Amino acid sequence: MKGTVTYTIFASLGDVMATIFGINLFALSGQLLVGLINGSFYALLSLGLAIIFGLLKIINFAQGAMYMLGAFFAWMALNYMGINYWWALLLVPLAVGVLAILMERFLVRPIANEDHLYSLLLTFGVALVLQGLFTHFYGSSGLPYQIPAELKGGTKLPFMYLPNYRAWIIVSSLVVCFSTWWVIEKTKLGAYLRAGTENPQLMQGFGINVPLITTLTFGFGVALAAFAGVLAAPVYSVSPEMGSNILIVVFAIVVIGGMGSIGGAILTGLMMGVVEGLTKFFYPEASTTVIFLFMVIVLLVKPAGLFGKEA
């Protein structure tokens, strides 16, 4: 009883503090948090797109479907095989990555020398098939996925309540994004990758197996999307539509950032998440469109994108 009273006092104290600047700080920081979480997903997805684009020069339209596949595989692993969240976080990106490698080998590579618009259409077809299959078997209403026991609950900060799982999403995706950036920019493997981006023929001449690197890169880029999907499963309901909705936003983000730099893709993703979150607080009606409007402004002011290298 006493505990409840103390809590109430603290809560009302918090309310007084929260509204002291005329705006509701609780709500604002809540939306900022949601923005950062969405930004983490945007960053993972656009990073994957940028890596694939660097070496293959194609845009993977199935990236959103792969994100959806990640979430569904996590759900299926738990419900059919009893594989828990932590194992899913490791195994699902691997499984989806293997699928992507097969897709690259048997669907994308045969048309690698054609106009790149064809590969866009091909991956669009793959996305339609995947989305159609899951709608057929699981319906479009969405399935629940429990937050893992270790990450239930939250931490009370002076200005907001921070659910542990949400903090985990932000931290883990930042770690993954940063490690990827580090591998590409600072290691020998990354140097091969960058060299392959610049001049694949010369690389081949040096005795490096470029087709193998290309295939693995495609697999890894897609695995990033699947990782995002597993992370998203407990916060968003697992549904076939989740992939296409996020992908179109990520496309706008890719146009905003330009695909010239790996760091730029990560940064733009996070930034746009925050912009969306702030809009949700100050003018909720525009929250679905703000990123597209931002894209229009970037096209007018700096058509190559914020981090774009092309003229």
Partner 1 sequence: MIKINKLYLFLIVIALVAPSLVYPVFLMKLLCFALFACAFNLLLGFVGLLSFGHAVFLGTGGYITGYLMLHTGLTPELGILAGTLGAGLLGAVYGKLAVKREGIYFAMVTLALAQLAFFFYLQAPFTGGEDGLQGVPRGALFGLIDLNDNFAMYYFVLAIFIFGFWLVQRTVHSPFGQILKAIRENEPRAVSLGYNVNDYKWVAFIISSALAGLAGSTKTLVFQLASLTDVHWHMSGEVVLMTLLGGMGTIFGPLVGAGVVISIQNMLSGGELGNYIHIIMGLIFIVCVLAFRSGIVGEFQKLVKKNFG
Q: Does 133 bind partner 1 (CB under 8 A)?
A: yes
Q: Which helix (H) or strand (E) holds 155?
A: strand 154-156
Q: Does 102 bind partner 1 (CB under 8 A)?
A: no
Rounded-to-5 percentages of helix, strand, coil across the chain: 75, 5, 20
Listed ranges 26-34, 156-164, 185-193, 297-305: which one lies at the site for partner 1 (CB under 8 A): 297-305
Q: Does 15 bind partner 1 (CB under 8 A)?
A: no
What's the CA gap between 308 and 298, in Å, rounded? 11
Q: Does 127 bind partner 1 (CB under 8 A)?
A: yes
Which one of residues 135, 146, 204, 209 is an interface residue with partner 1 (CB under 8 A)?
135
Which one of residues 244, 263, 274, 306 is an interface residue with partner 1 (CB under 8 A)?
244
Tell the smallest beta-carbon distance from residue 38 to partner 1 (Å): 16
* DSSP three-state, residue 161: strand
8 A C-beta contact, residue 193 and residue 217: yes
- Take residue 278 and report the two structure tokens written for it: 């702030």
- Take residue 162 and report the two structure tokens written for it: 């921070």
Q: Does 129 bind partner 1 (CB under 8 A)?
A: yes
Total site size for partner 1, rule CB under 8 A: 42
- Take residue 259 and report the two structure tokens written for it: 């695909």
Considering only residues 29-58, where is the footprint of partner 1 by CB under 8 A? Answer: 58
Write out the DSSP string of 39-76.
HHHHHHHHHHHHHHHHHH----TTHHHHHHHHHHHHHH
Q: Which is nearer to partner 1, 11 or 129 (CB)?
A: 129
Nearest to 127 by CA among 231, 241, 237, 221: 241
Q: Does 109 bind partner 1 (CB under 8 A)?
A: no
What's the CA gap between 48 and 41, in Å, rounded? 11
Listed ranges 18-26, 76-84, 158-166, 249-257: which one lies at the site for partner 1 (CB under 8 A): 249-257
Q: Does 255 bind partner 1 (CB under 8 A)?
A: yes
Tell the smallest beta-carbon distance from residue 309 to partner 1 (Å): 13
Q: Does 284 bind partner 1 (CB under 8 A)?
A: no
Q: Which is nearer to partner 1, 61 or 85 (CB)?
A: 61
Q: Which is nearer to partner 1, 110 or 205 (CB)?
A: 110
